[in-house]
Amino acid sequence: MKKYCINGMFLCQRMTGIERYAYQIVSRMNHMIDTDKVQIEIMIPFELMADFKGDKIRLVQPVKRQDSFLQRHYWLNVDFPKYCKKSGAIGVNFCNLAPMRNSGIVTIHDIIYKSFPQFFSFRRRLLPDIYYKVAIRHSKHLVTVSAYTKKEIVKYYKANADKIDIIGNGYEHILEAKDQKIEDSDILKSLDRDYHVFDKGYYLAISSISPHKNFSWVIEEAKTNPDNYFVIVGASTYGLTSPNSGSEADIPSNVIFTGYLNDTDNKYLISHSKALLMPSYCEGFGLPPIETLALKKPIIISDRTCLPEIYDNSACYIDPDKTDYKLDQILDQALENMEENREKILAAHNWTLSTELWCNLLYNL
């Protein structure tokens, strides 16, 4: 019987896009996997932050580490591969980083540090580039989330295209999130009380505030669309340092930053928005648009990298270098595209299908 051990560091970190991918796949795999064909464990390095109760997939912690930069990388490159070797298991890595040797199956969501180096300092690019280069070379198999990212991996790291599977993201988690009420959420109460956004209307953007996410576009659109609010959800990691972004003093009063929010708050904000905005220069998949389509709201997104591939004719596309759109005028087109093509996109990209593809990969590797 084949045996696999999953790198469970994603269960010990805050939920962002790549951790969500891992959690959704593994949670569904826990019910779907055929235990007559494979045996699966999840090894974790430190205390759990996500709720996971395995049934068919067993949680193990043979070595417990402190959550620090050096301890994380020691666990990843020493403890995890050592346990896999001792137990006769193939390692499975869902979140970009994998052991530099005996990498097993490696999932790479994007290689923006390589394909868009202008948005990151040399120090910020160095470690991911080393990990990707070595892990790809020593991997047994690769998985990525879009045809665009697969093409980039082959281009920059000379990977064998035949050993790269495309298994994308899904949307069901946003429907499964609890329905939120304004009075039960501090941030929603603040948005309602201080800005009255739910009465006046707002455009929504959800992401970490990194340069390649191009939030300078949202800032400029807010200046030319003063009658609308622009709500930006996400952790600020590198600041608004894209070209033309300006300083904090240049941010108009109709732009509201909420910081990182949970799924219940995000679900409410998406459901009551005019549309989702995603003006990114680069995405590996782009999760917020499919969450938005699932909640029957329109999407206005960039025409770059993987986004036209994933969202096809369900979106209204913008040029991320152009910042003089009258959003209310193109909203009707975005709504029409969503209504006509939503079901096709959701049928092609969902967690159930992705988990089935992962199970088949583990059976047949």
37-82 residue pLDDT tens: 999 999 999 999 988 988 899 999 999 999 999 999 999 999 999 9
Query: Phi, psi (5° rounding) for residue 185?
Result: -130, 125
Q: What is the dihedral of CA 150, 146, 236, 11, to 10 degrees?
A: -90
Alpha carbon of 263 to those of 17, 83, 245, 266: distances in Å? 12, 34, 28, 5
CA 196 to chain centre: 30
What does the radius of gyration of the chain's CA atoms come to, in whole angstroms? 21
E strand intervals along 248-349: 255-259, 275-278, 299-302, 316-318
Residue 191 has pLDDT above 90, yes or no: yes
Contact in structure between 189 and 182 (CB atoms under 8 Å): yes
Q: Got the DSSP string for 45-114?
A: SS---S----SSEEEE-SS---SSHHHHHHIIIIIHHHHHHHHT-EEEE-SS---SSS-EEEEE---HHH
The pTM (predicted TM-score) of the whole model is: 0.92
Residue 165 has pLDDT above 70, yes or no: yes
Length of the chain: 365
Mean of pLDDT values over 162-181: 96
Cβ neighbours of residue 68 closer than 8 Å, sequence gap 6 or more: none
- pLDDT value for 236: 63
- Nearest partner of 84 among 141, 42, 49, 118, judged by Cα: 42
- pLDDT value for 242: 36
**At 242, is the secondary structure helix, strand, or coil?**
coil
- pLDDT value for 265: 97
Residue 152 has pLDDT above 50, yes or no: yes
**pLDDT tens digits for range 238-266:** 444 333 444 454 889 999 999 989 999 99
Structural domains of the chain ordered from first start: 2-170+351-364 (3.40.50.2000), 172-348 (3.40.50.2000)
Contact in structure between 218 and 188 (CB atoms under 8 Å): no
**pLDDT tens digits for range 292-337:** 999 999 999 999 999 999 999 999 999 999 988 999 999 999 999 9
